[in-house]
A and B are shown apart, each in its own frame.
Chain A
Amino acid sequence: MTPDLPEANESLLSTVAAPAIWAAHFLLSYITAAVWCAKVAGADGSLVAVQRAISLYTVLALAAIGLIGWRAWGRHRLGDSPPPHDQDAPGGRHRFLGFAGALLSGLSALAVIFSALASLFFGSCR
């Protein structure tokens, strides 16, 4: 017995929330580094402060993506119906959006980790 799943409670935007967080993390990391090197530290300056900032962004971003992904995964697991979620019923649509959101969260988390990884290799603005 699946609960009532009205269309109004679903949103395409929440499905793409995780990649949007990746985008924010990515832009913020890039802008922080670029402004720091251009305006604060200079061309040979140290990047340790930026690395710390990016670590902080990363923790926040991963926490948010984790939360989104976890909730999306819950929607994907609703009821007892594995993919491909192709039922012509609110349940199928609900599970599909959950699964898509969960997969996008996974990809976004991976991309955030890649970015964070990249920042670890650079101790200076060179």
Chain B
Amino acid sequence: MSTKSAQPHLLTCARFALAFAVLPLGKGSTLEPAGLAADRVATLFWVLTIGATVIWLVVVGLALYAVSASRRPQSPRGSSLLIVGGGVIFPTVVLAGLLVWSLSMLPGLLAPAPAGSLEVRVTGYQWWWRVEYLGAEGATIELANELHLPVGEPVELQLESHDVIHSFWVPALGGKMDMIPGRRTRLRLEPTQVGVYRGVCAEYCGTSHALMSLVVVVEERQAWERWLAAQAQPATSPGEALFLEQGCGACHTIRGTAADGALGPDLTHVGSRASVGAGVIEADVPGLEQWLAKTAHLKPGVLMPSFGMLPPPELTALAQYLAGLR
């Protein structure tokens, strides 16, 4: 079995000693909830965990006592009591209670955000996320692999898939929801704390499933509005000609330029993002240089061809151009 990647190393000075890099990006634990839904589930988790631990200790304790030598054998009547009490009555009562509690949570978790809430459409692709802020009258602001949300407000996500089944999951904010081709699912998030959170694809979606992350930035309403207004603007940066000359515009859109491809992520403000490649590497000049040169190595199976054949100065120029798109 081959244990080495087939891709030759094109750049000798790798910033990462590790072959596959996934950036930490942000907090991504369900146990440090920063959203309403995650918070409720975390409470449920702690209650369940404590209860399960106690039950486990009692059951295993009983079993160990039963095999120990120093005790009187139990009478048939005692056996019946143990079987009916421990095996029937106790679990029935506990399970009924848990069922009622968890079911009473469900309608709240499944309810849509109130009308007039922020609506965002997120579409899963192998292996990145198209993000579209749906404004009034059908106007949309598009970006990729990054989501900014105002704190304390419910947001309604419309989830779709372009190809295979993905699952949208930001552990710190709430539960996951699958993105299924041919269907539209929805998910309500309500972040309660400002911060940067990591989202991932939870449903196995092919080769680079592990490399499909999402950055969720939760900020105060004003900061968020400033950010959204900036994202709505077209972007300019010196060095556009090389980007177009290399044919990048066939797949990528940069609003304000001739690049209007729709296959790949919108790059209009790529320089403002935390990463490229859906969480693979930083979106600064060195990071972009590596991404362009060893795309398929950093993200196995990716559709984008590597541009490692470009002379290093051009690679740097291209990276500088992209990093400048802020």
The complex places the Cα of A123 from the Cα of B106 at a distance, in Å, of: 11
B104 interface hit (Cβ, 8 Å): yes
Chain B interface: which of A29-37, A70-78, A110-118? A110-118
Q: Which residues of A contact B95 (CB under 8 A)?
A: 114
Query: A126, B99: Cβ atoms under 8 Å?
Result: no
B257 interface hit (Cβ, 8 Å): no
B108 to chain A, nearest CB (A): 10
Query: B112, A126: Cβ atoms under 8 Å?
Result: yes
Query: A118, B110: Cβ atoms under 8 Å?
Result: no
The complex places the Cα of A118 from the Cα of B103 at a distance, in Å, of: 7
**Interface size for chain B: under 10, 10 to 19, 20 to 34, or 35 or more residues?**
10 to 19
Select A121's contact among B92, B103, B111, B112, beta carbons within 8 Å.
Answer: B103
A68 to chain B, nearest CB (A): 19
The complex places the Cα of A118 from the Cα of B106 at a distance, in Å, of: 11
Q: Which residues of B contact A110 (CB under 8 A)?
A: 92
User: Across the two chains, which residue of chain A brings its CB closest to B105?
Assistant: A121
Query: A121, B106: Cβ atoms under 8 Å?
Result: yes
A89 to chain B, nearest CB (A): 20
CB neighbors of A among B87-135 (8 A): 92, 95-96, 99-100, 103-104, 106-107, 110-112
CB neighbors of A among B274-324 (8 A): none
Select B111's contact among A114, A117, A118, A126, beta carbons within 8 Å.
Answer: A126
Query: B96, A126: Cβ atoms under 8 Å?
Result: no
Select A117's contact among B92, B103, B106, B110, beta carbons within 8 Å.
Answer: B103
User: Across the two chains, which residue of chain B brings its CB closest to A123?
Assistant: B107
The complex places the Cα of A122 from the Cα of B103 at a distance, in Å, of: 9
CB neighbors of B among A96-126 (8 A): 110, 114, 117-118, 121-124, 126
A43 to chain B, nearest CB (A): 9
Q: Which residues of B contact A118 (CB under 8 A)?
A: 99, 103
The complex places the Cα of A126 from the Cα of B96 at a distance, in Å, of: 23
The complex places the Cα of A110 from the Cα of B100 at a distance, in Å, of: 14
Query: A114, B99: Cβ atoms under 8 Å?
Result: yes
User: Across the two chains, which residue of chain B brings its CB closest to A84?
Assistant: B76
B157 to chain A, nearest CB (A): 15
Q: Given A126-B110, A126-B111 in contact, is the A121-B96 Cβ separation under 8 Å?
A: no
User: Across the two chains, which residue of chain B brings its CB closest to A106?
Assistant: B88
Query: A114, B107: Cβ atoms under 8 Å?
Result: no
Q: Which residues of B contact A121 (CB under 8 A)?
A: 103-104, 106-107
Q: Which residues of B contact A123 (CB under 8 A)?
A: 107
Besides the known contacts A114-B99, A117-B99, A122-B106, 19 further A-B residue pairs in the complex with CB atoms under 8 A apart: A110-B92, A114-B95, A114-B96, A117-B96, A117-B100, A117-B103, A118-B99, A118-B103, A121-B103, A121-B104, A121-B106, A121-B107, A122-B107, A123-B107, A124-B107, A126-B107, A126-B110, A126-B111, A126-B112
Interface residues, chain A, with chain B CB atoms under 8 Å away: 110, 114, 117-118, 121-124, 126
Q: Which 8 A-B pairs have the closest CB atoms?
A: A121-B103, A126-B110, A118-B103, A121-B104, A126-B111, A121-B107, A114-B99, A122-B107
